[in-house]
Amino acid sequence: MEHILIIGGGVGGALAHDLALRGFRVTLVERGALLSGTSGRHHGLLHSGARYVLHDLETARECFEENQILRHIAPRALESNDGLFVALDAADMDHWDRFIDLCAQAGIPAEPLSAALALTLEPELASSIEGAVRVPDASMDAWRLPMQFFATAQCNGATIREYCDVQALHVSNRTVKGVDIRNHRLNRVERLDADLVVNAAGPWAAKVAALADLQIPLRTVPGVMVSVPGRLNNMVINRLHPAGEGDIIVPQRNLSILGTTAWMADDPDVVQMPPDQVSRLFELCSRLIPRVREHEPHAIWHASRPVLAQGAEHDPMRMSRGFDCVDHAAYDELEGFVTLLGGKATTMRAMAEQTADLICRKTGRDRECRTREKVLKPYRSYYRIDVRRWDA
Amino acid sequence: MHNKNQHVTLRILRFKPGQIDPPRFQNYTVSVEADVDPTILDCLEEIRLNQDPTLVYRHSCHHSSCGTCACQINGIPRLACTTQLRQLPTDQVISLEPLKGFACIADLAVNMDVLFKDIDPLWSGLKIDEPDAGTSPQGIQTWQRLEDCIECGCCISACPKMHAGNRFIGPAALTAINRECTKSPGSRKKLLALAGGDRGVDKCKRVLACSRVCPTRVYPSRHIEDLRRHLKNLIANKLLK
């Protein structure tokens, strides 16, 4: 079978798993530690899709479908807690009927609750709320869930190499034949040959594409998150309004994570947090749960979303979180090179499926996707397999 | 002292097998603005992205939930992501070394196999919710949440008995065993046999360093005491029979 080289140890893990199940030879390279870019650094929300119904129904549908699949294939990386979309005022109530109608259209179970009932479920919510809608959101372990993809891929024969930074693409006759990596562990450059190279570097995908002088329609959209100590809520709390800043509080272990903001950056390696982001998050989230104000930050961090540049929307919060995989043979007359664009953690399995389908078409292999049913190995298996990961 | 930016020196133990081998310290200087308080992980990111792309360390979530960024900070195992620079004496050099008791992959990154080899992959990472009495809604007692232990390795690094060559199973594995005893009563006997085995609780000399360094307040030494009590009861019950 063909040797597929994946660049990027985030969503690339789901792709390595899918391709290994289909019988391909797989090598994945990541410039740092696994999940050290975007995929491990989000606020840990398994979306029901409800967050997107008001402006991006397609992503909402995708999220719900993947939500159900991930509950089946990775149940142990998820807290069972559901989510509430809380209407704070009359302006939020204006969206109520449409929100419920659109959830129904996307197939997302949405149960309207009175303010009194919502407050019995989540006593720390602002007492003046108008009502809430219960949806199947969940808290996920942002590291352990994707590590299950890596563990399973590795058990199925994929080679996973951390601290290997791609420095060049080898191109001959308009075909990508492999890459040069700098192995930061051994301080040396190595050449890796492949039948096909997949650029799954998330917000860094533009830098990888630039190695082949290609431009891709990708925007880097960082956002800030703040965790506060203690669990202010047990369910995921969202504000019922068109998705905006500071309108999510995700509980996880003994923390509550306030999210998030969005702005445009040019380079995911040079991200400057705009001033006042943290105080704004506290202000906005305290409208949902007033006790947020009583806490000091436990941690402040940011992560860069890779957002597909499409359509006329310029508000980074409302730009579609959809994804696409690009066959550069069709667009740039460059064979052997595929780029995965956009997407989000909740939909990483679907991104992998679509990309692996494309790879099957390109290689003429008729292999069906099995990742919807295949329950993933426990993440700890990644450390228990007898492979010489460090001496490839 | 009137400069807007403070310059802080980090002394990092570098290691590249066959290249920087044996390990040696290398100094880096980061410039910190007066009104910001970066974490040690922020400093490592600054060094890797702007000074030395060859610096290797593990990191992912940046808020103490993944457990990957633990290292010895001024000699104490801590998470780099939640250790603020200004908690440390920044007028002196700050030293960063990999966790003790683990094989070093390169620089600050260690191989976590030591931690995971005695924790069965199938033991659950979830637990039944423990809500605050009185404030939590009905029905929530059956909900599951993620275990507090993030398997960062700080307890292993801090435990002198892990490094004495006496084949101790270690505080992280014993904590996992005790948690699993609660969650899978059917496996209790087998689990207690592990805890009472020749690598088990008797190797612990109650130094309590594990509990002192635990970043998520799991306090492994309490779990070890629990196991000792369970084992004692088990033996007492056998004698009574």
Query: Is A94 or B164 the better-scoring residue by pLDDT?
Result: A94
> Looking at residue B1, what is its pLDDT?
46
Residue B140: pLDDT band with limits 50, 70, 90? low
**Interchain contact, A234 vs B136, CB within 8 Å:** yes
> Looking at residue A392, what is its pLDDT?
39
A90 CB-contact burial (10 Å; exposed 0-12 / middle 13-18 / buried 19+): exposed
**Interchain contact, A252 vs B136, CB within 8 Å:** no
What is the complex's ipTM, to 2 decimals? 0.96
Residue B165: pLDDT band with limits 50, 70, 90? confident
- Both tokens of residue A129? 């709320």
Residue from B14, B36, B62, B130 to probe the interface with A (highest A Cβ count within 10 Å): B62
Strand pairing category for B5-16 and A337-342: unpaired
**pTM, full prediction:** 0.96
Closest CA to B106 of B20, B13, B15: B15
CB pairs under 8 A between A and B: 156
Q: How far is A15 from chain B (nearest CA, A)?
A: 19
Closest CA to A84 of A53, A112, A106, A58: A112
Is B24 near chain A, with CB under 8 Å?
no
Q: Tell me the C-alpha distance between A385 and A375, whole Å.
A: 18
> Looking at residue B128, what is its pLDDT?
80
- Both tokens of residue A238? 């969202």
Q: Tell me the C-alpha distance between A93 and A99, whole Å.
A: 10
CA A155 to chain centre: 23
Residue A391: pLDDT band with limits 50, 70, 90? very low
B106-135: burial string, b at 16+ Cβ within 10 Å, e else? bbbbbebebbbebbbbebbbbbebeeeeee
Task: Using the predicted structure, report yes or no on whether residue B136 has a pLDDT greater than 70.
Answer: no
Task: Using the predicted structure, report yes or no on whether residue A359 has a pLDDT greater than 70.
Answer: yes
Q: How far is A173 from chain B (nearest CA, A)?
A: 32
**What pLDDT, in 10s, does the model give residues A81-119?**
999 999 999 999 999 999 999 999 999 999 999 999 999
Chain A positions in Cβ-Cβ contact with residue B146 (cut-off 8 Å): 77, 79, 139, 141, 144, 252-253
When CB atoms are compared, the residue of A76, A270, A377 closest to B126 is A76
Contact A273, A263 (CB under 8 A): no
> Looking at residue B130, what is its pLDDT?
64
Strand pairing category for A175-183 and A164-172: antiparallel
> Looking at residue A385, what is its pLDDT?
62
Contacts for A132 with CB less than 8 Å, ≥ 6 apart: A84, A85, A86, A87, A112, A113, A115, A117, A118, A125, A240
Identify residue A72 by its one-letter amino acid code. Answer: H
Which residue matches tokens 């003429």?
A364
Q: How far is B18 from chain A (nearest CA, A)?
A: 7
Residue A334: pLDDT band with limits 50, 70, 90? very high
- The SS3 of residue A3 is strand
> Looking at residue A362, what is its pLDDT?
98
Task: Using the predicted structure, report yes or no on whether residue B147 has a pLDDT greater than 70.
Answer: yes
Phi, psi of B109 (to 5 degrees): -85, 130
Task: Using the predicted structure, report yes or no on whether residue B132 has a pLDDT greater than 60.
Answer: no
* Mean pLDDT score, B39-58: 98
Task: Using the predicted structure, report yes or no on whether residue B35 has a pLDDT greater than 80.
Answer: yes
- Both tokens of residue A365? 């292999």
Interface of B with A in 26-45 (CB under 8 A): 39
Chain A positions in Cβ-Cβ contact with residue B150 (cut-off 8 Å): 253
Q: Tell me the C-alpha distance between A6 and B24, whole Å.
A: 33
Interface of B with A in 4-23 (CB under 8 A): 16-20
First to last CA, chain B: 74
> Looking at residue B235, what is its pLDDT?
87
Q: Tell me the C-alpha distance between A37 and A301, whole Å.
A: 12
E-assigned strands of A311-385? 323-327, 337-342
When CB atoms are compared, the residue of A33, A81, A270 closest to B58 is A33
- The SS3 of residue B47 is helix
Listed range (A22-31, B73-82, B179-188) with the worst mean pLDDT: B179-188
Q: Tell me the C-alpha distance between A196 and A338, whole Å.
A: 8
Is B134 near chain A, with CB under 8 Å?
no
When CB atoms are compared, the residue of B68, B121, B150 closest to A384 is B121
**Interchain contact, B58 vs A269, CB within 8 Å:** no
E-assigned strands of chain B? 5-16, 20-33, 70-73, 76-79, 94-97, 104-106, 109-110, 126-128, 144-146
Is B66 near chain A, with CB under 8 Å?
yes
* Mean pLDDT score, A119-138: 96
Closest CA to B107 of B216, B6, B214, B10: B10
Q: Tell me the C-alpha distance between A266 and A261, whole Å.
A: 16
> Looking at residue B204, what is its pLDDT?
96
Q: Tell me the C-alpha distance between B96 and B111, whole Å.
A: 17
Alpha helices in B53-187 (DSSP H): 113-116, 154-158, 171-183
Q: How far is B149 from chain A (nearest CA, A)?
A: 9
Chain B positions in Cβ-Cβ contact with residue A139 (cut-off 8 Å): 145-146
When CB atoms are compared, the residue of B19, B58, B68 closest to A187 is B19
When CB atoms are compared, the residue of A41, A251, A384 closest to B60 is A41
Calculate what percentage of chain A has a pLDDT beyond 70: 98
Interface of B with A in 182-211 (CB under 8 A): none
> Looking at residue B239, what is its pLDDT?
76
Chain B positions in Cβ-Cβ contact with residue A120 (cut-off 8 Å): 137-138
**What pLDDT, in 10s, does the model give residues B61-72?**
999 999 999 999
Phi, psi of A255 (to 5 degrees): -130, 160
**What pLDDT, in 10s, does the model give residues A184-205?**
999 999 999 999 999 999 999 9
Q: What is the mean pLDDT of chain A?
A: 95
Q: How far is B196 from chain A (nearest CA, A)?
A: 23
**What pLDDT, in 10s, does the model give residues A37-84?**
999 999 999 999 999 999 999 999 999 999 999 999 999 999 989 999
Q: Tell me the C-alpha distance between A197 and A16, whole Å.
A: 12
CA nearest to B137 within chain A: A121
Q: How far is A354 from chain B (nearest CA, A)?
A: 26
How many degrees, rounded to 5, is the angle at CA A324 between CA A319 and CA A327? 140
CA nearest to A379 within chain B: B121
Interface of B with A in 146-185 (CB under 8 A): 146-148, 150
Task: Using the predicted structure, report yes or no on whether residue B237 has a pLDDT greater than 70.
Answer: yes
CA nearest to B54 within chain A: A184
CA nearest to A300 within chain B: B63
Identify residue A104 by its one-letter amino acid code. Answer: A
CA nearest to A10 within chain B: B60
CA nearest to B18 within chain A: A186
Residue A319: pLDDT band with limits 50, 70, 90? confident
Residue from A34, A127, A185, A391 to probe the interface with B (highest B Cβ count within 10 Å): A185
Report the 10 Å Cβ neighbour count for A61. 17
When CB atoms are compared, the residue of B106, B126, B148 closest to A163 is B106
Chain B positions in Cβ-Cβ contact with residue A279 (cut-off 8 Å): none
Closest CA to B140 of A68, A79, A48: A79
Residue A320: pLDDT band with limits 50, 70, 90? confident
Residue A310: pLDDT band with limits 50, 70, 90? confident
Calculate what percentage of chain A has a pLDDT beyond 90: 93
Strand pairing category for A218-229 and A255-259: antiparallel
**What pLDDT, in 10s, does the model give residues B209-232?**
999 999 999 999 999 999 999 999
Strand pairing category for A337-342 and A196-199: parallel
